[in-house]
Amino acid sequence: MFDGLKDKLSSFREDVEASTDADEASESEDADEESASGSAAGTAEPADADSPVDAASPDEETDGSADPSTFQRAKAFATGRIIIEEEDLEEPLWDLEMALLESDVEMSVAEQILETVRETMLGESRKQVETTGELVERALHDALLDVIAVGQFDFEERIAEAEKPLTIVFTGVNGVGKTTTIAKLSEWLADRGYSSVLANGDTYRAGANEQIAEHADRLDRDLISHDQGGDPAAVIYDGVEYAAANDVDVVLGDTAGRLHTSDDLMAQLEKIDRVVDPDMTLFVDEAVAGQDAVNRAKEFNEAAEIDGAVLTKADADSSGGAAISVAYVTGKPILFLGTGQGYDDLARFDPEALVDSLLGEE
């Protein structure tokens, strides 16, 4: 999962290490020369790897013959630390930006990641015990987590605390795995002791009733459906009534992924929102759709505000762009990843675990 992106992040680490290692070599020569000539480096305190490295004070900076940055770097070197400078990062950051964009990370998300990495690393001094690789890893870890973890909440707790029946409506275009996700979530809920009923609000597509009925049969769940062409809001509403009358905990409402026009589809979702007033609306799209999935998430969120997203087919996605971008762009968290075709192939989205796996920490 997300192997392409993982490789690219690893290249970034190597790039920064290579450029700071080159600096270290020349730094060492500079410091030797300056020390020998009794210039700025000679005024630095004796090497002490444990003493904190401060930026050189203005007095110190104007004191010696060397320029401030040379002084600062020489002092850092003398105390066993290295300072990362803008020029060390310029090329690796450019490459990182290209790598993120190639991996379908949305532009604003890529920029945010770069900014955090730059802020974390610039002017950072590191002890010799903390390798540049470790520093880059920390910067990338924080930068990725910042964008990936946007809006996270405890889904299970939300289900537990909600008044029953709880209604969850699923939105998203056709063919991305919406119906399969509903079936998977029904299983996920059953595993945690919650009963659920399926309601087919996709009254537009021929065959939609049969498709969801197959899942309902296999899982032994009740299904509420109307004839093709019926009012989707009415179907989901019936689902809620059925659940209330039969003590069912959760209503899982499917919706159409395509109508005559995109405007019709959005108007229909708005109507469902108004009539049913669902407790949660989850947007479903496929991780493999990359930027398209990100754009659709924005569009659907505008029509019927979503509470979170599910990215399917993560098992087949190498780029990871959608997984990284959707939460930041919509302000709503990714809650689950679809990881295969089986009913158990639904994993709670764990931002920390994803970042660790992208950085090869697990």
Q: How many Cβ atoms from other residues are within 10 Å of residue 123's Cβ?
A: 12
- Asked if 339 is part of the footprint of ligand GTP (rule: CB under 6 A), the reply reads yes
- Asked if 331 is part of the footprint of ligand GTP (rule: CB under 6 A), the reply reads no
Q: Using an 8 Å Cβ cutoff, are 334 and 323 in contact?
A: yes
In Å, the largest CA–CA distance within the chain is 91
Q: How far apart are CA 113 and CA 44, in angstroms?
A: 36
Burial of 48 from C-beta contacts in 10 A (0-12 / 13-18 / 19+) = exposed
**Strand pairing category for 223-224 and 196-201:** parallel
How wide is the angle at C-alpha 305 spanned by C-alphas 321 and 170, nearest 5°?
75
SS3 175: coil
**Strand pairing category for 125-127 and 250-255:** unpaired
Task: List the one residue from 175, 244, 277, 348 that touches ligand GTP (CB under 6 A).
Answer: 175
How wide is the angle at C-alpha 297 spanned by C-alphas 151 and 225, nearest 5°?
105
- Asked if 262 is part of the footprint of ligand GTP (rule: CB under 6 A), the reply reads no
User: Rounded to whole angstroms, what are the CA distances from 154 to 147, 159, 279?
Assistant: 18, 9, 15
- Asked if 313 is part of the footprint of ligand GTP (rule: CB under 6 A), the reply reads yes
- Asked if 176 is part of the footprint of ligand GTP (rule: CB under 6 A), the reply reads yes
Residue placing its CB nearer to ligand GTP in the complex, 76 or 233: 233
- Asked if 292 is part of the footprint of ligand GTP (rule: CB under 6 A), the reply reads no
Give which of 210, 203, 299 is closest to 256, Cα–Cα.
203
Asked whether residue 256 is marked as a ligand-binding residue, the answer is: yes
Span from 36-44, 172-180, 187-195, 296-304 in contact with ligand GTP (CB under 6 A)? 172-180
Task: List the one residue from 312, 319, 325, 330 that touches ligand GTP (CB under 6 A).
Answer: 312
Q: How far apart are CA 228 and CA 208, in angstroms?
A: 8
Q: Using an 8 Å Cβ cutoff, are 287 and 314 in contact?
A: yes
Q: How far apart are CA 241 and CA 233, in angstroms?
A: 12
Residue placing its CB nearer to ligand GTP in the complex, 110 or 233: 233
In the complex, what is the shortest distance from the CB of residue 20 to ligand GTP, in angstroms, rounded to a whole number? 40
For 251, the enclosing helix (H) or strand (E) is strand 250-255
Residues binding ligand GTP: number (CB under 6 A): 18
- Asked if 213 is part of the footprint of ligand GTP (rule: CB under 6 A), the reply reads no
Residue nearest to ligand GTP (CB): 338
Residue placing its CB nearer to ligand GTP in the complex, 183 or 358: 183
Span from 3-11, 101-109, 137-145, 307-315 in contact with ligand GTP (CB under 6 A)? 307-315
* Interaxial angle between packed helices 351-358 and 3-36, expressed in degrees from 0 to 180 and rounded to the nearest 10: 60
- Asked if 211 is part of the footprint of ligand GTP (rule: CB under 6 A), the reply reads yes
Span from 34-42, 80-88, 91-99, 310-318 in contact with ligand GTP (CB under 6 A)? 310-318
- Asked if 257 is part of the footprint of ligand GTP (rule: CB under 6 A), the reply reads yes
Span from 50-58, 120-128, 187-195, 308-316 in contact with ligand GTP (CB under 6 A)? 308-316
User: Which of the residues 131 through 170 are near ligand GTP (CB under 6 A)?
Assistant: none
Asked whether residue 173 is marked as a ligand-binding residue, the answer is: yes
Give which of 76, 85, 63 is closest to 30, Cα–Cα.
76
Task: List the one residue from 116, 180, 196, 209 that touches ligand GTP (CB under 6 A).
Answer: 180
Of how many residues is the chain composed?
362
Q: Using an 8 Å Cβ cutoff, are 336 and 349 in contact?
A: yes
Asked whether residue 255 is marked as a ligand-binding residue, the answer is: yes
Asked whether residue 312 is marked as a ligand-binding residue, the answer is: yes
Residue placing its CB nearer to ligand GTP in the complex, 164 or 205: 205
Residue placing its CB nearer to ligand GTP in the complex, 40 or 306: 306
**Binding site residues, ligand GTP, CB under 6 A:** 174-180, 211, 257, 312-313, 315-316, 338-341, 345
Binding region for GTP = 172-179, 254-258, 312-315
